[in-house]
């Protein structure tokens, strides 16, 4: 009996030692984001850093106003004063509180649109720039297609629920990345408070976007909510000089889930300079006596998961003809990760080559 007891204890000790010595693998669970659709994109390279159902057609509520602002800045006279109409002052949903007959500059309306999510501002902007909401929508839809937001359709400048008003998380990220190329847009969506006297406005504005106060480096962009769309949020966060755009749609915990995506990107990605501006990437043979160097006219910086590698491939034209202008596009460089293309950039000629220069080179080589 005693021997059996000793054997049992010995077996338990041996098993314990085995399980503590032998290596075992714990499969980490993929990050779960409690949103119907979500994405994180580097605004410059447009590289996707995280996504969940990012191509799903979905209502987008007041995140629509990102496009409204982009179109207004592109096509509008921002100093023009707009008379607030009945249609504008009586629109339901979120409002600034503009009164019928008030004269408000388009510039001020943009702050009311983005900081206070004013549907009244959206209508006033559309009427002030295009004469009617319907004409302004043409600009919104045309410009969306031009940007590459091909799965987007707008039926209003404010985003209240409508059957054929939709976008995708990916398209919204593209639209936001485009908007962030504009200095005024960045100021509007990033400012927390606007003083009426300082700006020469009719009233002061406080930004209702809580993400500006919750994530270090957050510099925009827009909240949204309707019954069909649920809670939505488009965020921009500066990470080491690069803006990361994060979109969560139909996300009841939008603040926390956005922060979770931010922490994921911050913890898993680093930005690598693949090619320096002006660096000779490759060369192109004009004939047996002359080559032209191919360069990039900008730094190429891409986000790469830590400890992952990337590949570059140069694509050159099969045949070229002289003359060649300095800065002329001559092929492109493509960056790949695991066989998937991340981005491509044009390669430029480093010098000008015309017929006289070509003949001079050929003549010189005859007497070498």
| Domains identified in the chain and CATH numbers | 37-272 (3.40.710.10), 276-355 (2.60.410.10)
pLDDT digits (tens, 9 = 90+) for 209-228: 999 999 999 999 999 999 99
Q: Which residue has the higher pLDDT, 311 or 28?
A: 311
- The closest alpha carbon to 170, from 312, 294, 293, 58, belongs to 58
- Give the burial class of 87: count Cβ atoms within 10 A of its Cβ; 0-12 exposed, 13-18 middle, 19 or more buried: middle
| Residue positions annotated with a catalytic role | 62, 65, 117
Three-state SS for 229? coil
Q: What is the pLDDT of residue 342?
A: 83
pLDDT at residue 363 greater than cutoff 80? no
Q: How many CB atoms lie within 10 A of CB 307?
A: 7
Angle of helix 183-190 relative to helix 106-115, nearest 10 degrees, comes to: 50
pLDDT digits (tens, 9 = 90+) for 138-186: 999 999 999 999 999 999 999 999 999 999 999 999 999 999 999 999 9
Three-state SS for 320? coil
How far apart CA 120 and CA 302 sit, in angstroms, is 40
Length reported for the chain: 368
Strand partners, 239: 242
pLDDT at residue 358 greater than cutoff 80? no
Q: Which residue has the higher pLDDT, 349 or 187?
A: 187
Mean pLDDT confidence for 332-355: 85
How far apart CA 255 and CA 209 sit, in angstroms, is 10
Q: How many CB atoms lie within 10 A of CB 265?
A: 20
pLDDT at residue 62 greater than cutoff 90? yes
Cis before 221 (ω within 30) = yes
- Rounded mean pLDDT of the chain? 88
Q: What is the pLDDT of residue 8?
A: 55
Q: What is the pLDDT of residue 332?
A: 92
pLDDT digits (tens, 9 = 90+) for 67-117: 999 999 999 999 999 999 999 999 999 999 999 999 999 999 999 999 999
pTM above 0.95? no
Percentage of residues in the chain having pLDDT higher than 70: 87
Q: What is the pLDDT of residue 291?
A: 82
How far apart CA 31 and CA 50 sit, in angstroms, is 10
Percentage of residues in the chain having pLDDT higher than 90: 69
How far apart CA 43 and CA 60 sit, in angstroms, is 20
């Amino acid at each position: 009996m005693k021997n059996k007891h000793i054997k049992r204890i010995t077996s338990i000790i041996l098993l314990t030692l085995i399980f503590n010595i032998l290596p075992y693998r714990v499969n980490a669970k993929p990050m779960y984001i409690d949103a119907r659709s979500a994405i994180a994109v580097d605004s410059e390279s447009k590289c996707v850093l995280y996504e969940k159902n990012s191509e799903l057609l979905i209502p987008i509520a007041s995140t629509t106003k990102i496009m409204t602002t982009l179109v207004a800045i592109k096509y509008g006279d921002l100093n023009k004063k707009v008379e607030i109409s009945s249609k504008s002052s009586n629109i339901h949903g979120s409002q600034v509180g503009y009164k019928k007959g008030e004269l408000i500059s388009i510039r001020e309306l943009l702050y009311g649109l983005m900081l206070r999510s004013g549907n009244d501002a959206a209508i006033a902007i559309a009427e002030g720039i295009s004469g009617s909401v319907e004409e302004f929508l043409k600009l919104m839809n045309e410009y969306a297609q031009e940007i590459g937001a091909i799965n987007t359709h707008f039926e209003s400048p404010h985003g209240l629920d409508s059957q054929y008003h939709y976008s995708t998380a990916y398209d919204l990220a593209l639209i936001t990345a485009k908007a962030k190329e504009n200095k005024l847009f960045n100021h509007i969506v990033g400012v927390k408070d606007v003083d009426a006297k300082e700006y020469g406005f009719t009233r002061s504005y406080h930004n209702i976007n809580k993400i500006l106060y919750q994530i270090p480096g957050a510099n925009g962009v827009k909240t949204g909510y309707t019954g069909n769309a649920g809670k939505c949020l488009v965020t921009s966060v500066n990470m080491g000089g690069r803006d990361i755009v994060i979109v969560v749609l139909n996300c009841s915990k939008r603040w926390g889930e956005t922060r979770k995506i931010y922490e994921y990107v911050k913890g898993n990605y680093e930005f690598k300079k693949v090619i320096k501006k002006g660096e000779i990437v490759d060369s192109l043979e004009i004939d047996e006596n002359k080559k032209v160097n191919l360069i990039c006219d900008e730094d190429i910086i891409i986000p790469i998961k830590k400890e992952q590698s990337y590949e570059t491939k140069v694509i050159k034209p099969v045949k070229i003809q002289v003359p060649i202008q300095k800065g002329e596009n001559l092929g492109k460089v493509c960056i790949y990760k695991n066989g998937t293309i991340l981005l491509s950039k044009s390669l430029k000629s480093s010098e000008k080559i015309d017929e006289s220069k070509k003949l001079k080179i050929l003549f010189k080589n005859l007497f070498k």
